[in-house]
Amino acid sequence: MKYLIVILSFMLPFGLVYSQDKKINVIVIGAHPDDADGTAGGTAIKFARLGHNVLFVSLTNGDAGHQNSGGGELAKRRRAEAEEAAKRFGVTYKVLDNHDGELLATLDVRKEVIRLIRQWNADIVIGPRPYDYHPDHRNTATLVQDAAYMVIVPNVASDTPPLKKNPVFLYVQDKFQKPYPFSPDIAIDISDVFDQKIDAMSAHESQYFEWLPWTESQQVPADKEERLKRLKSNRKRPIIPAVRECLIKWYGEEKGQAVTDAEAFEICEYGRQPTEREIRELFPMLTNR
């Protein structure tokens, strides 16, 4: 029996053995301390539940996003909210000390991003597309794109050892149509963790219950449960046909059609281009069909 087990282990595809044994390192990079939560929070929970490592990064400290406070006081509050959200998501959260509303795609910040990706030994890097209403979001996308490939170049940010291979870089889903709409390559079923995602997002009270409603002239309920219901309703994204097709591809017809909540990602051409088999290894939650 012992020899049979050994033989069978060699017969298994190497990638499958690798995906079972290795911890996958995921880094989600946003402009503000709540950006990663909304775009990839459910996927992060899935990774964390499977024992993998997820880092959320905010490239700014969020010190401008409020109608009544700002500066250091607001930055301190938003960092504390991010830390609470991290506990609820089961991830690590890092907030950089760049000013909200003033983020530029400079060489210094690019090197910060390169170092973070290397230090996390990232297998997957997730960030926004460069088409967005907010300059911080656009510049975050540029910074992440510019870090792709450079993370393996030894003489760039040489104080931090380069990665041995380029990670897979992914864009999060958005609604922008020009110059071209989001095109999903990977879709993750988050139906069973959507409530946990909403609860974790609600840790950012300054944003979801104060600042964002104020920008849209909305009244926020005082009751906590009513607030959560409002947040859940506002953040429940309809599954567009392209994402539904993607879900069916990865989960099969029956399960793909049954998904009620999903997060989708587009593969950036600047990073490693994974095969379907590699995608299933990198996203082990896709193996249960």
Q: What is the pLDDT of residues 162-200, one digit of tens each?
A: 999 999 999 999 999 999 999 999 999 999 999 999 999
* Mean pLDDT score across all residues of the chain: 92
Q: Which pLDDT value is given to residue 231?
A: 93
- By residue count, the chain amounts to 289
Report helix, strand or coil for 264. Answer: strand
Q: Which pLDDT value is given to residue 13?
A: 38
pLDDT one-digit tens code per residue, 16-50:
344 457 899 999 999 999 999 999 999 999 999 99
Is residue 51 situated within a structural domain?
yes
How do strand 53-58 and strand 262-267 relate by DSSP bridges?
Answer: unpaired
DSSP state, 118? H
DSSP 85-103: HHHHHTSEEEE--PPTT--
DSSP state, 128? -
Q: Which pLDDT value is given to residue 84?
A: 98
Half-sphere exposure of residue 3: CA atoms within 13 angstroms, side-chain side:
0
Token duo for residue 170: 């992914």
Inter-residue contact 250 to 265 (CB < 8 Å): no
pLDDT one-digit tens code per residue, 47-98:
999 999 999 999 999 999 999 999 999 999 999 999 999 999 999 999 999 9
The CATH number covering residue 28 comes to 3.40.50.10320
Number of domains in the chain: 1
Is residue 184 situated within a structural domain?
yes
Phi first, then psi, for residue 189 (nearest 5°) are: -75, 115
- Count other C-beta atoms under 10 Å from residue 74's C-beta: 20
Q: Which pLDDT value is given to residue 20?
A: 59
Q: Give the separation between CA 270 and CA 168, rounded to whole angstroms.
A: 9
Q: Which pLDDT value is given to residue 11?
A: 39
Class of residue 64 by CB neighbours under 10 A (exposed 0-12, middle 13-18, buried 19+): middle
Is residue 81 situated within a structural domain?
yes
Q: Where are the alpha helices (DSSP H) in 191-237?
A: 194-201, 205-206, 212-215, 224-235
Q: Which pLDDT value is given to residue 15?
A: 39
Residue 44 makes CB contacts below 8 A (sequence gap 6+) with 26, 28, 36, 54, 56, 89, 90, 91
| Cα 26 from chain centre | 8
pLDDT(5) > 50: no
Q: Give the separation between CA 101 and CA 134, rounded to whole angstroms.
A: 8
Closest CA to 209 of 222, 194, 197: 222
Report helix, strand or coil for 25. Answer: strand
Region 254-268: what's the mean pLDDT? 97
Is residue 230 situated within a structural domain?
yes
Q: Which pLDDT value is given to residue 8?
A: 39
Is residue 183 situated within a structural domain?
yes
Q: Which pLDDT value is given to residue 41?
A: 98
Per the structure, the complete domain to which residue 68 belongs is given by 23-286
Region 135-144: what's the mean pLDDT? 98
Q: Which pLDDT value is given to residue 2?
A: 43
Residue carrying structure tokens 């983020």: 103
Inter-residue contact 51 to 159 (CB < 8 Å): no
Inter-residue contact 188 to 42 (CB < 8 Å): yes
Is residue 104 situated within a structural domain?
yes
Longest dimension (CA), the chain: 70
Is residue 241 situated within a structural domain?
yes
Is residue 1 situated within a structural domain?
no
